[in-house]
Amino acid sequence: MTRKILILGGTGTIGSAVTRALLEQGEDVTLLLREGRIPPSGVKAVTADGNDEEALVAIQREGAYDIVINLLIYTAEQAQMNLRVFPDVRQLIFISTVCVNDRAETVVFTEKSPCGNRESVYGQHKQEVELVFLAAAEKGYPVTIVRPTQTYGGQKLPLSVKGKSYWGICQRILDGKPVIVHGDGTSVWISTYCDDFAAGLLPLIGRKEALGEIFQITSDEALTWDQMYQILGEELGRAPKIVHIPTDVLVQAGLGGGIRGDKESSVLFDNHKLKTLTGFVPKVSFREGVRKYLAGIEKHPEWKNTDPAFDQKCDAVCAAWNEMTRDFSELFS
């Protein structure tokens, strides 16, 4: 039976992939969009601000959606509002993040690993949201919490230090310019292609066994950051000139966004819980994901935007770091 599904945040990397997969499955999907946003071709949409409680109540009253997938919730207040707006749905799926985990406690994470990220404000806020929904689940509310790792696709790539442009790093590699990788490049990272995430999520939708539960959905492929950049360079046909800079220095230089409390730590994710319930198997390797990105670039030249301000800062930071470390090594020569 076709289910009526409302997606809040359905035009981002994860949301777009989930929307595509649901439509291919024949589901009745509606996206919540802000005023002025245009839905993808053939996709139904309603217009409202995701924080406008009155508008959301009206939308739910009219649409009577069975399933709500919310990728927008960031605060406990927003979670509480969603409980009020969608009291009678069959399932509310909250897209959280593996960044809720305490990276100082372990390297291999399951859904039961300690939470409480000591560095990431993003992770801290998402954990607060999880606590609101878990408390509601104890009283019978049909919520499912899903934790992705860094999920990419479309015009996005998993990168260490970047500006506002993903292609900008590729262009630096092609131009023979240095690219910064935090630490010494040996920390282990797991990123997930968006279509794999969608494939992991779909079997959880409308599933009774998923209610009141938390599921990680990640790739099984673990690579160091240096390996990821080497693969990117190989697919571009140019070896990257990697400059390793400690995270502490990058934070001081204003280039530490998304690294402290997240990318700087080695991580492995155990997806046994999801696989046992659904048989999920991620299929897209990082190399294949890079190839998909580059194929997309060929079709969408508008993705080839750059960030001149970041480029200038990157050049300056790399030059300063090389000068400083050269002077340091001379002390011992």
* Sequential DSSP letters for 143-169: EEEEEE-SEEBTTB---SS--S-SHHH
For 83, residues 6+ apart whose C-beta sits below 8 A from its C-beta are: 132, 133, 136, 141
User: What pTM does this model have?
Assistant: 0.95
| 269 has a pLDDT exceeding 90 | yes
pLDDT, one tens digit per residue, over 310-325 is: 999 999 999 999 988 8
DSSP secondary structure letters along 242-302:
EEEE-HHHHHHTT--TTIIIIITS--EE--HHHHHHH-------HHHHHHHHHHHHHH-GG
CA 303 to chain centre: 19
Q: Which amino acid is located at 321 in the chain?
A: W
Kindly report the backbone phi and psi dihedral angles of residue 245, in degrees, each rounded to the nearest multiple of 5, phi listed first: -135, 130
Distance CA 247, CA 267 (A): 16
| 42 has a pLDDT exceeding 80 | no
Task: State both tokens at 143.
Answer: 């919520």
**What percent of the chain shows pLDDT beyond 70?**
99
The predicted pLDDT at position 1 comes to 63
Nearest to 22 by CA among 49, 40, 38: 40
| 38 has a pLDDT exceeding 90 | no
pLDDT, one tens digit per residue, over 271-297 is: 999 999 999 999 999 999 999 999 999
Instruction: Kindly state the helix (H) or strand (E) to which residue 31 belongs, with its residue range.
Output: strand 28-33
The predicted pLDDT at position 141 comes to 98
pLDDT-derived band of residue 166, with 50, 70 and 90 as boundaries?
A: very high
Q: Report the DSSP pairing between strands 143-148 and 214-217.
A: parallel
| 170 has a pLDDT exceeding 80 | yes
The DSSP bridge partners found for residue 181 are: 244
Task: State both tokens at 303.
Answer: 């993705």
Give me the residue label for tokens 């066994």: 209
Task: State both tokens at 166.
Answer: 């993903």
Instruction: Kindly state the helix (H) or strand (E) to which residue 277 belongs, with its residue range.
Output: helix 272-278
CA distances to 105, 121, 251, 318 from 116, in Å:
10, 10, 21, 33
DSSP secondary structure letters along 302-318:
GG----HHHHHHHHHHH
Q: How many helices (H) and strands (E) in the chain?
A: 11, 15
The predicted pLDDT at position 54 comes to 97
pLDDT, one tens digit per residue, over 82-98 is: 999 999 999 999 999 99
Average pLDDT over residues 41-61: 93
pLDDT, one tens digit per residue, over 177-228 is: 999 999 999 999 999 999 999 999 999 999 999 999 999 999 999 999 999 9
